[in-house]
Structure 1
Amino acid sequence: MPGTSVTALAAQEPVGDITWVPSTYRRPVKRFIEAGALAWVRGLDEQEPSAYDWVTTLELCSLVTGQASGWRRDRRPLQAVITWENLPDQPLYKVPPYNRAVAASRGADLFLCMVDAAREHLLDNGFPDHKIRVVKPGVDTTIFAPADHPTAAPTVAFVSPLAPNKGIDRVLDAMKLVRRQLPEARLVVAGNGPLRDRVAAAAADPSAGVTLAGQLDAHGVADLLRHAAVFCTAPRPTWKWTEQLGLAYLEAQACGLPVVTTRCGTNDEAVQPPNLMVEDTVEALADGLLTFLTDADRRLRVGVVNRDRMVADHDLATQCVRMGEAFADIETHAGR
């Protein structure tokens, strides 16, 4: 879509050539994080609908999605809803006011799915197939690229929110088992969240072999990954969420790392053989990590396969073109 301009209502200034409208959110209570945030964006009603061709929001049950539906006039601008949702029976859809947002979202013109499972979710919930397009997420394969000389050090990278659903606690425990057989193995953790204190305590223990790198930007994450031998997380489902894809998996694979992770939701869309998806136990994680940490040749072979797949299927520039094609296709059918 050459010549496209983007205006973002957001609390933080977005990266890129984007017009930023500084906005805050009205949140009656702080609960239901992620797509179920109980929040409406301030300032949308100050924007003139006729000035835009599209309004785009994230997730069917987002209250901002319902807000955007009500903001349009005579079904203009066109509305797109981006979705990662993979739970066949998402419980939030039954809870007011989320159910009203879902009902409003049915009038959208495009449902842009980030995973194949999201398309199945939409079809299972009665959304029309002709409005659905699937475009997988992309990563910058120039920033996230393999090291010139892969590390020989048995270093594990964890890059994800430090929260129970991402499993940093399980990874810390697995590393204790790994270090019994491979004392020089180390874990480098990047991220922030409610379990940060637990990671910080491990990092303060010289015998644990843990480093807390904190919150990093894209270049910082890429540098961390290039100095690691294996990438590992251990997601587990919550009552309203299960792993959908995991951008960190894509970034690690683009850097030529093998992945060890637990099976959760639809993360098999991101992590495919010859990577290792294991059961959600400390022992299984430790065994998977040792498989790669003790075999440099296997790490290299898997890393090459991963890098090639990321360039073929998840290169950012390519996926942006595909996303533009999805919007343009709907515009054509809408007579715009």
Structure 2
Amino acid sequence: MPDTDVTALAAQEPYGDLTWVPSTYRRPVKRFVEAGALAWVRDLERQEPAAYDWVATLELCSLVTGQASKWRRDSRVRQVVVTWENLPHQPLYKVPPYKQALGSARDADLFLCMIDAARDHLIDNGFPDHRIRVVKPGVDTAVFTPAAEPTHEPVVVFCSPLAPNKGIDRVLDAMRIVRRQVPEARLVVAGNGPLRGLVERAAADPRTGVHLAGQLDAHGVADLLANAAVFCTAPRPNWKWTEQFGLAYLEAQACGIPVVTTRCGTNDEAVQPPNTLVDDDVEAIAAALVTHLTDRDRRARVGAANRARMIADHDLATQCARMGAAFADIEAQGR
């Protein structure tokens, strides 16, 4: 979005050319939940509304969305709510204070959906279609790019939070089956989270073929993916969350490697044929991995198709321009 000045209120410095206002959160309890934090961002009240054209927040029931709605009231500042939500009957919508935040979100000028399912979710919840725009996420195809020579090594990469809902436990179990047929197969795990100890224990045993790479920056992730044979996760839903899209899927496909993952929520929007979606079953995951690891020609075909689709449909610059067009369209309607 050229000629756009962005000020970000965040605890950690975001990536990109923007002004960062280091901000913490006020929390009544030290707990976060999916689809919205039980917290309000500090320092928003110190920002002068007259200095801004838009205020953007993430998700309808985030308490910061309600906070931003109140902050911009009686000013010319427009509000955009970015949403990935794909559960039409999100349980949090019924729970105070998330219910109040949802009500505040209805006054937003733009609802920017990162997936098609988010638009359906908004309409199902009575939001006006004329203020909804869908712009799929982008990936930096100059950073996430295939290796000059595809690897011949049977290396599987898991790059995601090490949490139960992302399925690292399933992938570890699947790799034990894979190594019975492909003894040299290895699993490289990048990420952090509550199941890190599970991965550390596996990596401590050289018989598993598991290596923990830890937390990596974008370039580290890109290098890891480009030198892998297959990307694999195994998400499964919980009571308030189901897989929405998955940026890691885009990064892997931009690096020209196949994806094997479980069907979950709306991740089929990101993982399309000729990639492999399977049931939430360890043996099914293992079988799909073996198919890709033992067939180099297949890997090459799938990888080339993935790279072409990422450039056509998810290139970061193109998607940023489409996002800018969504803002401009809403602004033009208000004239």
- In which range does the TM-score fall when normalised by the shorter chain? over 0.9
Deviation at 1:76, TM superposition (A): 2.5
Deviation at 1:31, TM superposition (A): 2.4
CA offset digits 1:174-198 (Å, max 9, x no partner): 0000001110000000000000000
Letter in 2 for 1:229: A
Letter in 1 for 2:186: R
CA offset digits 1:246-303 (Å, max 9, x no partner): 0000000000010100000000000011111000011000000001001000000000
Q: Which residue does the alignment assign to 2:166? A: 166
The answer to whether structure 1 residue 199 and structure 2 residue 199 are counterparts is yes
Deviation at 1:75, TM superposition (A): 5.2
Q: Which residue does the alignment assign to 1:126? A: 126
Deviation at 1:228, TM superposition (A): 0.5
Deviation at 1:128, TM superposition (A): 0.1
Deviation at 1:320, TM superposition (A): 0.4
Deviation at 1:13, TM superposition (A): 1.4
Q: Which residue does the alignment assign to 2:87? A: 87
Q: Which residue does the alignment assign to 2:19? A: 19
2:118 and 2:215 map into 1 onto residues whose CA distance is 29
2:44 and 2:55 map into 1 onto residues whose CA distance is 10
* Residues matched between the structures, number: 335
CA offset digits 1:28-62 (Å, max 9, x no partner): 11223343210100011111111110000000000
Deviation at 1:72, TM superposition (A): 1.1
Q: Which residue does the alignment assign to 1:186? A: 186
Q: Which residue does the alignment assign to 2:74? A: 74
Contact 2:49–2:75 (Cα < 8 Å) also in 1: no
TM-score by length of 2: 0.99
Deviation at 1:74, TM superposition (A): 2.2
Write out the 4+ residue segments of structure 1 that deviate beyond 3 Å after TM superposition: none
Q: Which residue does the alignment assign to 2:228? A: 228
Identity of aligned residues (%): 78
- Structure 2 unmatched runs, 5+: none
Deviation at 1:323, TM superposition (A): 0.4
1:171 and 1:32 map into 2 onto residues whose CA distance is 26
Q: Which residue does the alignment assign to 2:211? A: 211
Letter in 2 for 1:316: L
SS in 1 for 2:157: strand
Shift of the 75–91 alpha-carbon distance from structure 1 to 2, 3 Å rule, reads: farther
TM-score by length of 1: 0.98
Q: Which residue does the alignment assign to 2:105? A: 105
Contact 1:59–1:83 (Cα < 8 Å) also in 2: yes
Deviation at 1:22, TM superposition (A): 1.1
Q: Which residue does the alignment assign to 2:261? A: 261
Contact 1:141–1:315 (Cα < 8 Å) also in 2: yes
1:210 and 1:152 map into 2 onto residues whose CA distance is 18
